[in-house]
Amino acid sequence: MRLRKWFMDLFHQSAKSMRDKKGISSIFIALLFLIPFMTFSMFLIESRFLYTIKNSADDAVVAAALAALKSTNPVDIAYGEYVLDPNDARDTFYEYLRKNMKLDENMNPLPGSAAAGPVHVDEFIVYNPGSYPTFCPRGTFIKNTSIHVVVSFKAKRPALTGLFGKYVDIVIHRDVDNFYNLQEE
């Protein structure tokens, strides 16, 4: 009951100020600062949300690439240099990417997926011994058996769709190897 009385008193006070034209400037100035502040706040929240979507998709791509780095001969892995079959690596990568990002067989999103449209694997290159040291098409130095992957998809923007569009394009570039150095550098 007290809360209702407080709101009614506030309403009557603001209505009186509007009639007397004494409080209109303070209300106008408050709105002048409140609208840009709210827009900026929504921008910050949305950017963190989209950053989280990109990070989860990046983790899915890295996990799929690590799964594709498996070798049929564990002795070769122990010595550090091993040869990947590009077709097997590609099939394994697609299988795990579909599982990790919740995609169907045609790379379209299932319910609960971070993607709002089809996921495209723009580049997939396997670097085996003899093809490195080199640079990937995006400039990363390759010095071990690696997989170069570029994945792109659209994510739905949660707010500010009128200002920046309904979807945002996300591109993930990763060069993944499983070389571990146990010595301190």
Average confidence (pLDDT) per 10 residues, the chain, 185 residues: 69 67 70 85 91 95 91 65 88 96 96 95 93 92 92 91 87 86 49
Within a domain: residue 8?
A: no
Within a domain: residue 68?
A: yes
Domain around 114:
55-177
Within a domain: residue 155?
A: yes
Give the pLDDT score at 97.
97
Tracing tokens 């098409």 back to the chain, one arrives at: 137
What distance in Å separates the CA atoms of residue 74 and residue 63, rounded to the nearest whole number? 19
Q: Could you tell me the pTM of the whole model?
A: 0.78
Give the pLDDT score at 145.
87
Within a domain: residue 15?
A: no
Within a domain: residue 80?
A: yes
User: Which H or E element spans position 88?
Assistant: helix 86-101
Within a domain: residue 3?
A: no
Residue 33 makes CB contacts below 8 A (sequence gap 6+) with none
CA 31 from chain centre, in angstroms, equals 34
What distance in Å separates the CA atoms of residue 11 and residue 93, rounded to the nearest whole number? 62
Within a domain: residue 97?
A: yes
Q: Total domain count for the chain?
A: 1
Give the pLDDT score at 27.
75
